[in-house]
Amino acid sequence: MLFEEFGIDKRLLTQLAHQGIKHPTDVQQQAIPIAISGQDLFVQSKTGSGKTLAFLVPLLQRLIKQRALSKRDPRALIITPTRELANQVFSQLRLLIAGSNISATKVLGGDNFNDQIKSLKKDPHIIVGTPGRLADHLKQKSFFLSGLELLIIDEADRIMDLGFKDEIDLINQQADHRLRQTLLFSATLEHSQIDAISRNLLKSPKKVTLSESN
Ligand code: ADP
Ligand code: MG
């Protein structure tokens, strides 16, 4: 199958093609149509299977479709467990939004807090961050989640392993459940807290689970 069969915007297809990406992986084939339809989604598939594009493509399709992108609260928040993973997601995101009017910023633990406040004041459409630092900024009201349309939790199992349950709960509480769609990604299913976090965050989610053999 080809990415163009998802009916996504030409500009997005062009940016993917620039990176040599034409054919979606298994998890992308299954997850992208559900995510584009606006439903909540739980995805489990192994590391390296292509989960990043499984959320970036639906996210960017949604923002591109909104012709008048007003500058206010972030539209989308992508939470990853570590700086390294956030940097990987952000690099891929940057390539995909190159030349568009979509803005994004990183909010990572270890970086300068005041610089982050300045970046957040510019009202980026997309924030990629790590849980602890995001929670610190929310407590200080550096930004608000009242307009959030899409909450993406990447590597939820590792986020729980690292003990970020309280930070995820805070973010969950501050983002309006009626407005938002939530996509949750995990490499494993076995984690003891995955069921609990899914129940807390997701509304009648669709599930895509690919066993190790896939
Ligand atoms: P995961 O998050 O499941 O561990 P990633 O999203 O990091 O996997 O993807 C793993 C690698 O595969 C990355 O280098 C990415 O650029 C590449 N990749 C992802 N989707 C595709 C695709 N459809 N075609 C070609 N390469 C892809
Ligand atoms: Mg990943």
Instruction: Grade residue 73 by pLDDT with cuts at 50, 70 and 90.
Output: confident
Of 117-121, 135-139, 175-179, 204-208, the one with minimum mean pLDDT is 175-179
Residues found in the chain: 214
More confident residue, 69 or 201: 201
Provide mean pLDDT across the span 48-73: 88
Q: What is the pTM of this model?
A: 0.96
Is the C-beta atom of 48 inside 6 A of ligand 1?
yes
Nearest CA to ligand 1 atom 24: 21
CB-ligand 1 contact for 44 (6 Å cutoff): no
The average pLDDT across 81-91 equals 98
Q: Where do runs of H (alpha helix) occur along 75-124?
A: 83-97, 113-121
pLDDT at 33: 98
Pocket flag, ligand 1, residue 29 (CB < 6 Å): no
Residue 40: pLDDT band (50, 70, 90) is very high
Residue 69, pLDDT score = 65
197/161 Cα distance (integer angstroms): 12
* Cβ(109) – ligand 1 distance below 6 Å: no
Report whether residue 47 contacts ligand 1, using a CB cutoff of 6 Å.
yes
Ligand 1 pocket check for 52: Cβ under 6 Å: yes
Atom index in ligand 1 nearest the CA of residue 24 equals 23
For residues 201 and 189, the model is more confident at 201
Residue 197 burial (CB count, 10 A)? 22
pLDDT at 213 over 60: no
All domains of the chain in start order, with CATH: 3-209 (3.40.50.300)
Decide which of 191 and 5 is more confident.
5
Q: What is the mean pLDDT of residues 78-94?
A: 98
How far is 40 from 36, CA to CA, in rounded Å? 10
Hey, whose CA ends up nearest to atom 15 of ligand 1?
50
Is residue 173 helix, strand or coil? helix
Cβ of 49 closer than 6 Å to ligand 1, yes or no, is yes
Q: What pLDDT score was predicted for residue 214?
A: 39
Q: Which atom of ligand 1 is nearest to the CA of 88?
A: 7
User: What was the ipTM of the complex prediction?
Assistant: 0.99
Asked which of 57-66, 69-78, 170-179 is least confident by mean pLDDT, the reply is 69-78
Q: How do residues 98-125 score in pLDDT, each as one tens digit?
A: 989 999 999 999 999 999 999 999 999 9
Residues less than 5 Å from ion ligand 2, measured at CB = 51
**154 and 52 in contact (C-beta within 8 Å)?**
yes
Query: Residue 93: nearest ligand to its CA?
Result: 1
Decide if pLDDT at 41 tops 60: yes
Residue 211 in this model has a pLDDT that exceeds 80:
no
Judge whether 44 and 189 are in contact, CB under 8 Å: yes
